[in-house]
Amino acid sequence: MNMLDYDFMRTAFAASGVVAVVAGIVGVFLVGRGQTFAGHALSHVGFAGATAAGLIGISPLWGMIVLTVAAGVGMGLLGDRLSGRDVAIGVVLAVSLGFGLLFLHFYTSFATQATALLFGNVLAVDAGTLRTLVILGVVTLVALAIISRPLLFSSLQPELAEAKGVSLRTVGVLFMAIVALTVSASVQIVGILLVFTLMVGPAAAAERLTTGLRSGLVLAVVLAVAEAWIGITIAFYTDWPTSFCITALSALVYFVAIAVSRRAAAV
């Protein structure tokens, strides 16, 4: 049978496509603002939220969304003070995983779902989760479209933007909340530990290969969707872990982008 003859494969392609589009677009701004590590920390915070939600009997996805958005808002409120605080962010990242482990200790039957959260399992996405991902994607992109102009202005020329009346803190808070929603969606595809795969890899490669924002956004989306869909296809025919296939493709594309950009600069 063709892989698209299976319902779960069609759902996997649809879910990964939705998430890849959102992650590719948001990732361009995340990379441009130099906040990739903060975005990675949000995924670990989400793990604590997901396991806590499982402990009290609600959907892990909603627990992840609530806690990542709260953490994202907190990071946004720090503003410029967040820059250079890699150690503090790393501690929060580790503590979040620790709390997730503690919650698993009290709810051992959640262990299988926890593994899926850590490493992703796009083939297990059901129709209900797909609908939730579509809603998350629409909300995220609409919110990003609303703040895109002040976000870009404050990212490129923060002093001038503030002088023109743009609230850097408000923009930062809203953007980190958007990143939190994107992280929650991406975890369903590649997992907490590999969230950089879709959120950073395509955007970083696009940044190497393009000069304009619009071309960078388009290329990042194309790369993210291609990596997700090709990765799922490879996993189907090889029986390798899907998240590994997507991650390997993302890394390969990024290293090729580095080589191409350096070669172009040398010419």
Tens digit of pLDDT for each residue in 240-249? 999 999 999 9
Low-confidence residues of the chain: pLDDT under 50: none
Domain that holds residue 81: 3-193
Distance CA 200, CA 196 (A): 5
- Cα Dmax for the chain: 62
Is residue 28 included in any domain, yes or no?
yes
Residue 261 lies in a domain: no
Assess if residue 259 is contained within a domain.
Answer: no
- Which pTM value belongs to this model? 0.88
Please give the C-alpha separations between residue 130 and each of 5, 10, 61, 183, in angstroms, as whole numbers: 18, 11, 12, 15
Query: Could you tell me if 43 and 89 are in contact, meaning their C-beta atoms sit under 8 angstroms apart?
Result: no
DSSP 6: S
Residue 114 lies in a domain: yes
CB 178 within 8 A of CB 143: yes
- Classify residue 92: in a domain, yes or no: yes
How wide is the angle at C-alpha 138 spanned by C-alphas 35 and 17, nearest 5°? 80
Per 3-state DSSP, what percentage of the chain is helix, strand, and coil (rounded to 5)?
85, 0, 15
Q: Tell me whether residue 201 is in a domain.
A: no
Q: Is 234 left (phi over 0), alpha (psi -120 to 50) or beta?
A: alpha
- DSSP secondary structure letter of residue 143: H
> In the prediction, which pLDDT does 56 show?
84
- φ, ψ of residue 259 to 5 degrees: the values are -65, -45
Q: List pLDDT tens digits, range 1-47.
A: 689 899 999 999 999 999 999 999 999 999 988 888 777 788 888 88
In-domain check, residue 247: no
Q: What's the CA gap between 58 and 19, in Å, rounded?
A: 23
The total domain count for the chain is 1
Per-residue model confidence (pLDDT) at position 246:
94
Residue 211 lies in a domain: no
CATH, residue 98: 1.10.3470.10
CA distance 199 to 40: 9
pLDDT on residue 82: 53
Distance CA 237, CA 101 (A): 34
